[in-house]
Amino acid sequence: MTIAKQGQQTTSGATQDRYDPGEIEPKWQQRWAEAGIYRVEDSVPGKENWFALTMFPYPSGDVHIGHWFAYAPADAHARFKRMQGFNVLHPQGFDAFGLPAENAAIARNVDPREWTLSNVANMRRQFNRMGNSYDWSRNLVTCTPEYYHWNQYFFLKFLEAGLTYRASGTANWCPTDQTTIANEQVKDGACERCGTPVIRREMPQWFFRITKYADELLEMDDIQWPEKIKLMQRNWIGRSTGVTLGFDVDEFAPGEKIETFTTRIDTVFGVTFVVLAPEHPLVEKLTQPGQREAVESYVNNARSASEIERTSTEREKTGVPTGAYAVNPLNSERVPVLVGDYVLATYGTGAVMGVPAHDERDFVFAKKYGLPIRVVVAPPGWDGSELDEAYIAPGTQVNSGEFDGLPSAEGMEHIADKIEANGWGHRTVTYHLRDWLISRQRYWGTPIPIIYCDNCGTVPVPEKDLPVLLPDEANFKPTGQSPLTMDPAFLNTTCPTCGGDATRETDTMDTFVDSSWYHLRFTSPGESEQPFSPERVKKWVPVHQYMGGAEHAVMHLLYSRFYNKALRDLGFVKFDEPYTRLFNQGLLIKDHKKISKRSNPLNPEPVIERYGADTLRCYLMFLGPWDQGGDWSDSGINGISRWLNRVWDLSQRDASHLSKAQPDESAMKALTRAAHSTTGRVVGELAEFKFNTAIAALMEYTNELNRLWDNGGISSAEWQDAVERLMLLAAPMAPHITEELWERTGHSSSIHLESLPGWDDSLAAAETLTIVVQVNGKVRDTLDLPADVSEDDAITAAMDSEKVQRHLEGGTLIKKIYVPGRLVNLVMRPG
RNA sequence: GCCGAAGUGGCGGAAUGGCAGACGCGACGGUCUCAAAAACCGUUGGGCAUUAACGCCCGUGUGGGUUCGAAUCCCACCUUCGGCACCA
C-alpha cells in the first residue's frame, strides 16, 4: 500500500498536501549529505565535545531490524546531545574481518574482499535510509591495510613490552570453524559463533597477556556502566584468594613437589588423597609400573572427551590411582595420588588436595573409591558421627592438631601463617581469566607480523616493513592448517636479521583485536604515519557514551578495556578506561518470539516502504524501555503513523486568524503550561534514554494542542512557539518530518543544528492541584485546591467534603496526614 | 548448583512509598460514505448495584510482614529470561 497523495481536510479547514515520507525522506537524506551537516570538527568554540559511539556492525549483507533497533535510538540520543549544545562525534564503521566472508567465499566461490566491500557499500546506503547523523568522513573498514597495519604495529609494541607471547598448550579448537578460539568465545563448551562443541588441541599459539591487568580490570568504580555488565566482568575475571601448598613426592619423583591450590586451607588436616588433572606434567613421572596401563588409558580417554563432556557437572567423578603417594606437610601423612578428570589443568595448579569431608566433589569421589573421610571443621553441635554429605560452611577446627578449637575462619589464617613460615607454600591469588588467545587458523584476518628463521628463531617483522599484506588470492579451503600456509609467495620470505631463508607466521589475528581500539581510529581517520593522533584522541576519548548489546560483556568490552590499559602503559593514551558511560539496549522480539528469518521474520524494507523511516524509528523507540528490548507487533506501528500525521497537520495550520480573536487568559496559561512542562519532561527523559515515555509525552502534548486549538482563545505567537517546541523535541527521534516541517514553517537552516527549547518550571507548574483525600488509606474524594494551599486549609477542605464525611461517621478520627501537593489521609478508629 | 534481572488489563507498556493501568495497539459504538477503507469522536481492568445518578467491593505472580498508605520496601516461595558453572 502506498500513502494517498490526495489533499486532506484538516480541522482548520485549510487544505495541504499529505505527509508523504517516501518523498521527503530521500530528499532530506541527500540534502544533509550534500551540506555535510553532520561533519564534525575536533573543536568548536563554546561547545563541549561528546563522543557518541555505537558498537560497529559486521558487514553481513543487509541492515536488518536488529540494526535498526540498535542504531536508530542511538542516533536519536546523539542528535539529542547535539541539540543540547554539544559538539557531537557520531561515527560509523565496519568490523569487516571474520569468518562469514571466508565461509561465503568457500560456499559460493566469491572473493572475501569483494563480498565484504560490496556488503559495506550496501549497508552504508541502508544506514543512510535510516536517517542517521553519521559523520561518514570518518568511516573505517577494518579489513583495509590502512587499518590492520596498526593491529600489527600494536602486536609488535605489545611484544616488546612482554604483553604478547607465544606458548604451546591446550587450546579450544572449533572443528567446524577449523580454528582455535579464546576462552571468552566458548559458551557452554561450544563455539560462540557456530555452536559446535569445542575440543582440546595442543598447538603453539599467540597470546595477549590480559591476566597482567586482572586486578586493575576489576576496578570499575569510575565508569558508569550497567551493574550487570560490571558483575559479569567481575565473575569472568573470577579472582579468588587461597594458598598454594606443596605435597612432597620425593619417594617417587626425587626433587618434585605437587603444588596444590585451595581456598580452604582450614581443611588441610582433612586431606585423604591428592588428585592430578590428566594433563598434569607429573602424571607420567609419578605413575608406578603396575598402574601405567590404567593411567595411560584413562588419560587418553580424558583427552578425547569434548569440552562439554569434560566440564559437565553431571559427569561422574572418576579417577585412577597412580600408585604414588604424597606427603601432607601439616601432619606428615602419606596419602594416595590419583588422576581424575574433574580436576582442570587450566585452573589453579592443575592439582587439588582431596578433602572429602568439606568439598562436594571430593566427597562423591571418596565415596566411590572408598577413600577415608575425615571431619576437620565441625558443624555446630556436631556429635562426631559420619557426615551424609560434605560440610561446606564454616565451623570449628577439629582433628587439626594445634589448631583445634579455633573458628575455621581464624584457623585459615593461622594455618596459612604456619605454611608460609615453614616454606611449605604461600598465599596465592588465582583468576578464572586466562590470557587472550589471538591466533586464528583462518585467512580473512590480520596477518600476525612474525617471521620464523632457522638461525635466528622467532623474529618480529621490522616496523618499517609493515603492513604485512594479506595476499589477495588464497586457497582457503579449511584443512585445519592456516590457509596462508598454502601460499608459498606469502609463506616464504627472508629473515630480516640474517637474510637467510625463513617462513612467515601464517595464523591471523582474532577479529576482537580490530574492535579493541577502533574508537581511537575514529578520531584520526586517514592517519598514515601513526595509528592515531594523540592530540586528536585527547579531544574525544574516553568515549562519553558507548551504546551496544550486552552480548559483548566479557568479550569486546573486556578486551577493549585491556587494550586501553596496555596502550596507556606504552604511552599511547593518558586515560585508564576507554568508555566512560555504557548503555546496553535489550533484544527486539516480535509477537513474544525471537525474530528469525525463517519462522518469525521482520524485514524493515516493507515497513519503510509503507510508513517511512521516521515512523519505524519512533515505533522502535516507543515499544518500551530501550534497555529492556521490545516486542514488535505489526498493528502497533499504526499508532505512531497516526501521531506523525497529526504532527504534520498541526504544525502547518494557518494561525494568522488567531491574533484577531480575543485571547482567553486561562487558555493561554494552559498552552504555556503544556509547552513548558512537555519540554521539561521530554528533555529529562531523552537524557536517560527513555524514548518510550518521551514519545508518550509528545503524543499527550499533540493531543493537548489539538484540544486547545479547537477551544480557541490563544494567540498566534504563543501557538507558533508551542508548535516549534513540538518540532524541536521530536527532531531527534523523527529527523525527516521535523526537518520538512521546519522548512515549511519558514526556517532556512536545518532543525538539527538548532538548540532544544528551554523551559521554566514555574510556567510549567499547574495553578491548582488535585489533592486526593483518603480515609484509612482508601480514596474517597479528590479536590482541586490552589497550588500553594496550606496544610490546615487542605485538611479543612478534606473534612468538609460530603463524600469524606460519610466515611467519618461513627468512628474516632485519630490522625491526619498531609502530603504537600498530593494527598490528605484521615485515619479513623471504628466505634 | 551459583549469580543477576523481571513478573501490572485482551496486547506493548506507564507509575520506584501517595488517584494503579499514562501513552499506544486491539476491540466495541458512533460521524462521514452508495459502500468500504482512511480520518475523526466516544467507550473500554474485573465484579456488585442502579431507570439514571450518587456509589460499593476486588485487583499489579503466590503467601506473609513493615507503614496512615505498598505494583513500589522487607522475608519466604513460584515462574520466566540472561550470565556463569567439576573454579578446588
The residue-averaged pLDDT of A736-763 equals 95
Taking only the tens place, the pLDDT of each residue in A416-427 is 999 999 999 999
Q: Which long-range contacts (CB under 8 A, 24 or more apart) does A191-199 make?
A: A192/A555, A193/A99, A197/A306, A197/A307, A197/A308, A198/A172, A198/A173, A198/A174, A198/A306, A198/A307, A199/A172, A199/A173, A199/A175, A199/A306, A199/A307
Please report which confidence band the pLDDT of residue A389 belongs to, taking 50, 70 and 90 as the band edges.
confident
Cell numbers representing residue A547 in the block: 551504546
Q: Shortest CA–C1' contact from A649: which nucleotide?
A: B39
Q: Please report, to the nearest 10 degrees, the dihedral formed by the alpha carbons of residues A129, A135, A136, A139 taken in order.
A: -130
Query: What is the pLDDT, as a whole number, of residue A445?
Result: 95
| For chain A, percent of residues with pLDDT exceeding 90 | 71
- B85 closest protein residue (CA to C1'): A313
Whether A40 contacts A525, CB under 8 Å: no
- pLDDT reading at A603 higher than 70: yes
Please report which confidence band the pLDDT of residue A410 belongs to, taking 50, 70 and 90 as the band edges.
very high
The residue-averaged pLDDT of A362-379 equals 93
Q: Is the CB of A550 under 7 A from strand B?
A: yes
Q: Is the CB of A827 under 7 A from strand B?
A: yes
Separation of A794 CA and B55 C1' (Å) = 24
Please report which confidence band the pLDDT of residue A242 belongs to, taking 50, 70 and 90 as the band edges.
very high
Q: Is the CB of A2 under 7 A from strand B?
A: no
Q: Shortest CA–C1' contact from A821: which nucleotide?
A: B18
For residue A346, which phi and psi values (nearest 5 degrees)? Answer: -90, -5
Largest CA distance in chain A: 110
The residue-averaged pLDDT of A772-791 equals 86
Q: Is the CB of A5 under 7 A from strand B?
A: no
Query: Which residues from the 322-381 window of protein chain A have CB within 7 angstroms of nucleic acid chain B?
Result: 341-344, 347-348, 350, 352-353, 355, 359, 361
- pLDDT reading at A5 higher than 60: no
Separation of A588 CA and B28 C1' (Å) = 31
Query: Which residues from the 170-189 window of protein chain A have CB within 7 angstroms of nucleic acid chain B?
Result: 187-188
Pairing of strands A501-504, A450-453: antiparallel
Q: Is the CB of A625 under 7 A from strand B?
A: yes
Query: Which residues from the 567-586 window of protein chain A have CB within 7 angstroms of nucleic acid chain B?
Result: none
> If we measure between CA atoms, which residue out of A147, A133, A113 comes closest to residue A520?
A147
The residue-averaged pLDDT of A566-573 equals 98
The residue-averaged pLDDT of A216-236 equals 93
Query: What is the pLDDT, as a whole number, of residue A16?
Result: 60
0.85 surpassed by complex ipTM: yes
Query: What is the pLDDT, as a whole number, of residue A14?
Result: 43
Cα(A256)–Cα(A67) distance, rounded to whole angstroms?
57
Query: What is the pLDDT, as a whole number, of residue A17?
Result: 81
Whether A135 contacts A124, CB under 8 Å: no
Query: Which residues from the 494-533 window of protein chain A have CB within 7 angstroms of nucleic acid chain B?
Result: none
| For chain A, percent of residues with pLDDT exceeding 70 | 97
Separation of A607 CA and B37 C1' (Å) = 19
Q: Is the CB of A392 under 7 A from strand B?
A: no
Query: Which residues from the 222-251 window of protein chain A have CB within 7 angstroms of nucleic acid chain B?
Result: 227-228, 231-232, 235-236, 238, 240, 242
Taking only the tens place, the pLDDT of each residue in A253-300 is 999 999 999 999 999 999 999 999 998 999 999 999 999 999 999 999
Measured at the alpha carbon of residue A123, what is the angle toward residues A691 and A648, in degrees to the nearest 5?
40
The residue-averaged pLDDT of A327-347 equals 93
Separation of A828 CA and B51 C1' (Å) = 36
The residue-averaged pLDDT of A321-340 equals 95
Query: What is the pLDDT, as a whole number, of residue A6?
Result: 34
Nucleotides in chain B near protein beta carbons (<7 Å): 3-5, 11-15, 18-20, 22-26, 39-41, 54-57, 68-70, 82-88
Measured at the alpha carbon of residue A798, what is the angle toward residues A793 and A804, in degrees to the nearest 5?
165
Query: What is the pLDDT, as a whole number, of residue A831?
Result: 62
Separation of A812 CA and B78 C1' (Å) = 42
Q: Is the CB of A782 under 7 A from strand B?
A: yes
The residue-averaged pLDDT of A711-731 equals 93
Query: What is the pLDDT, as a whole number, of residue A117?
Result: 95
Query: What is the pLDDT, as a whole number, of residue A365?
Result: 93
Cα(A374)–Cα(A383) distance, rounded to whole angstroms?
14
The residue-averaged pLDDT of A152-156 equals 98
Separation of A820 CA and B10 C1' (Å) = 38
Separation of A654 CA and B73 C1' (Å) = 53
Q: Is the CB of A311 under 7 A from strand B?
A: yes
Separation of A63 CA and B35 C1' (Å) = 42
Separation of A751 CA and B71 C1' (Å) = 41
Q: Is the CB of A646 under 7 A from strand B?
A: yes
Q: Shortest CA–C1' contact from A262: which nucleotide?
A: B88
Taking only the tens place, the pLDDT of each residue in A194-205 is 888 888 888 899
Measured at the alpha carbon of residue A543, what is the angle toward residues A192 and A548, in degrees to the nearest 5?
35
Contacts of A422 (CB under 8 A, 6+ apart): A329
- pLDDT reading at A11 higher than 70: no
DSSP, collapsed to helix, strand or coil, labels residue A280 as coil
Instruction: Classify residue A616 by its DSSP letter.
Output: H
- pLDDT reading at A771 higher than 60: yes
For residue A161, which phi and psi values (nearest 5 degrees)? Answer: -90, 5
Q: Is the CB of A770 under 7 A from strand B?
A: yes
Separation of A776 CA and B71 C1' (Å) = 19
Separation of A11 CA and B31 C1' (Å) = 14
Separation of A224 CA and B80 C1' (Å) = 28
Separation of A232 CA and B81 C1' (Å) = 16
pTM here? 0.93
- pLDDT reading at A493 higher than 90: yes
Q: Is the CB of A711 under 7 A from strand B?
A: no
Separation of A188 CA and B84 C1' (Å) = 9
Task: Annotate A29-50 with b (16+ C-beta within 10 A) or e (fewer).
Answer: beebeeeebbebeeeeeeeebb
Q: Is the CB of A778 under 7 A from strand B?
A: yes
Cα(A500)–Cα(A486) distance, rounded to whole angstroms?
21
Measured at the alpha carbon of residue A757, what is the angle toward residues A754 and A760, in degrees to the nearest 5?
160
Q: Is the CB of A779 under 7 A from strand B?
A: yes
Please report which confidence band the pLDDT of residue A12 belongs to, taking 50, 70 and 90 as the band edges.
very low
Separation of A823 CA and B3 C1' (Å) = 41
Q: Shortest CA–C1' contact from A637: which nucleotide?
A: B25
Query: Which residues from the 409-428 window of protein chain A have CB within 7 angstroms of nucleic acid chain B?
Result: none
Lowest mean pLDDT among A340-354, A694-708, A791-805: A791-805
- pLDDT reading at A55 higher than 70: yes
Q: Shortest CA–C1' contact from A635: which nucleotide?
A: B25
Q: Is the CB of A218 under 7 A from strand B?
A: no
> If we measure between CA atoms, which residue out of A557, A438, A421 comes closest to residue A505?
A438
Whether A325 contacts A336, CB under 8 Å: yes
Query: What is the pLDDT, as a whole number, of residue A4?
Result: 32
> Mean pLDDT of all residues in chain A?
91
Query: What is the pLDDT, as a whole number, of residue A50?
Result: 98
DSSP, collapsed to helix, strand or coil, labels residue A274 as strand
Q: Is the CB of A703 under 7 A from strand B?
A: yes
Q: Is the CB of A262 under 7 A from strand B?
A: yes
Q: Is the CB of A261 under 7 A from strand B?
A: yes
Cell numbers representing residue A587 in the block: 533484544
